Structure 1
Amino acid sequence: MGSLLLGKRILVTGVITDASIAFHAARLAQEEGAEVVLTGYGRLSLVERVANRLPKPAPVIELDVTDAEHLAALPARVREHVDGLDGVVHSIAFGPAGVLGGNFLTAEWADVATALQVSAYSFKSLATACLPLLEGGGAMVGLDFDAGVAWPSYDWMGVAKAALEATSRYLARELGPRDIRFNLVAAGPIRTVAAKSIPGFAGFERIWDERSPLRWDLRDPEPAARAVVALLSDWFPKTTGEIVHVDGGVHAVGA
């Protein structure tokens, strides 16, 4: 066992399967000495089964980040397992089918609003809900997909990721005085459950095959998970409002 997160208490959201970046971030956090609590929504029995595959089974709390009652109850629910938090992983995103797959010009506002609330505004909602647990400061890390360019088929989810990036910067500004850091990991495409729901995902595979300076493995979420764990650690004490790209270098090169 390592010691990068020794003694730290970490909340990890968005674990659905053991193929996800969030799962591997939770696993690595435990292996580096952290006490981990998970949240899930909807299919809690599935999340609980996945939680049992971690090196140490982790408790699971139900959390709908769009539900004010769930958010208000979160500090008490977390304190049933740990006495506070040192870090939070935001791995929550969702967009109805109508906001993806070439529907940028035809997407309905109701669907766009859902994508923005769940994928971007929830970063702020989770941060403020966790404030009573982060009394000694800490780090919050979100999972991103580079919003610096427009991607084929990604449409309004790309806009939601751009909103997430802006939200992270504003949180860094607002809550830096409380010694809370906010950073994002912009990961390359990984074959997760969420990725499979994106129409045209195969196009991303081709882009990374053609452009990635470092060989990219769509089946390996660990590089992104390692970046998450590093940003949760004390090795980045003065880094906030940052986007760390873990994409094989695609963001840095042209066609």
Structure 2
Amino acid sequence: MVGLLKGKRILVTGVLTDASIAFHVARVAQAEGAQIVLTGHGRMSLVRRVAQRLPQPPPVLELDVTSEEQLGTLADRLGEHVDGLDGILHSIAFAPQSALGGNFLHTPWEDVATTLQVSTYSLKALTAAVLPMMGPGGAVVGLDYDASRAWPGYDWMGVAKAGLESCARYLARDLGPRGVRVNLVAAGPLRTTAARSVPGFDTQEWDRTAPLGWQGDDMDPTARACVALLSDWLPATTGEIVHVDGGFHAVGA
């Protein structure tokens, strides 16, 4: 995949540590020739330090996807670093602890609403915020986790991921006439900081069952799939969910 993203301008959200999937997407994208801009939220000093670990340290913008003000200024702030945008990586999800860990029947609406706004609605909100910068051939890629079944402890985040999958299909429908593709990558369980916050997180079932095997510490296959979807090599693929899970989704557990 030499130069797969040569000349592409890519916005990567959700980098918190160098153990995040988004960090490795940014790393592989740079290796394939992309110009990267990162966004972060909350611990911005940490995000900026982590950005320095990339081969070419990129600019970092603050973005709270629940803030209409920050979304409204995002295109202008991006314009200070790039003159357009060819791709977006949506790697944003959050659920309060009450929405996880077997508390499904008792989670208050306020916490459900937060989960859905940050983890589902933000795909549309982020895309709409930067759409004026994107032209035909643009690509939006989101990070998913198989929402076809109920996972232990995942609870309202699982509902949010099901909504994310539907949101991606509707975005694909509405952005297709503009030449913009929208796809998701459903990775198997990876040992990220976010995953460790999910009660009951475990990769052993994947290790035993996935036909190709599964390594929860290896972010590279997922990052490569994201970069492939951000590239021009899949020009007629949209509304798709690409599973990067060693084949686990295709076989009975």
Deviation, 1:135, is 3.0
Does the 8 Å contact 2:75/2:130 carry over to 1? yes
Letter in 1 for 2:76: A
Q: Which residue of 2 aligns with 1:101?
A: 101
CA distance in 1, matches of 2:171, 2:56: 32
Deviation, 1:207, is 1.4
Asked whether 1:59 is paired with 2:42, we answer no
CA distance in 1, matches of 2:129, 2:18: 26
CA distance in 2, matches of 1:78, 1:161: 27
CA distance in 2, matches of 1:137, 1:191: 33
Q: Which residue of 2 aligns with 1:224?
A: 222
**SS at structure 1 position matched to 2:88:** strand
Structural mapping, 1:96-245, within 5 Å: 96-202=96-202, 205-245=203-243
Give CA deviations for 1:152-176 in whole Å, capped at 9, x if unaligned.
Answer: 1111110000000000000000111
Structural mapping, 1:27-66, within 5 Å: 27-66=27-66
Deviation, 1:2, is 2.5
How many residue pairs end up in the alignment? 253
Deviation, 1:136, is 3.9
**SS at structure 1 position matched to 2:105:** coil
CA distance in 1, matches of 2:231, 2:151: 32
Structure 2 length-normalised TM: 0.98
Does the 8 Å contact 2:172/2:182 carry over to 1? yes
Q: Which stretch has the larger CA shift, 205-214 or 149-158?
A: 205-214
**SS at structure 2 position matched to 1:146:** coil
CA distance in 2, matches of 1:254, 1:107: 30
Q: RMSD over aligned Cα, in angstroms?
A: 1.0
CA distance in 2, matches of 1:131, 1:138: 9
CA distance in 2, matches of 1:147, 1:30: 30
**SS at structure 2 position matched to 1:245:** strand
Deviation, 1:137, is 4.1
CA distance in 2, matches of 1:153, 1:211: 20
**SS at structure 2 position matched to 1:248:** coil
Letter in 2 for 1:84: G
Give CA deviations for 1:104-136 in whole Å, capped at 9, x if unaligned.
Answer: 111111111110000000000001001111034
Letter in 2 for 1:4: L
Runs of 4+ in 1 over 3 A off after TM superposition: none
Does the 8 Å contact 2:141/2:182 carry over to 1? yes
CA distance in 1, matches of 2:135, 2:236: 18
Q: Which residue of 2 aligns with 1:26?
A: 26
Letter in 2 for 1:13: T
CA distance in 1, matches of 2:137, 2:188: 29
Unmatched tracts of structure 2, length 5 or more: none
Letter in 1 for 2:101: G
CA distance in 1, matches of 2:48, 2:87: 21
Unmatched tracts of structure 1, length 5 or more: none
Identity %, equivalent residues? 68
Give CA deviations for 1:59-93 in whole Å, capped at 9, x if unaligned.
Answer: 00000001000001000100110001000000000
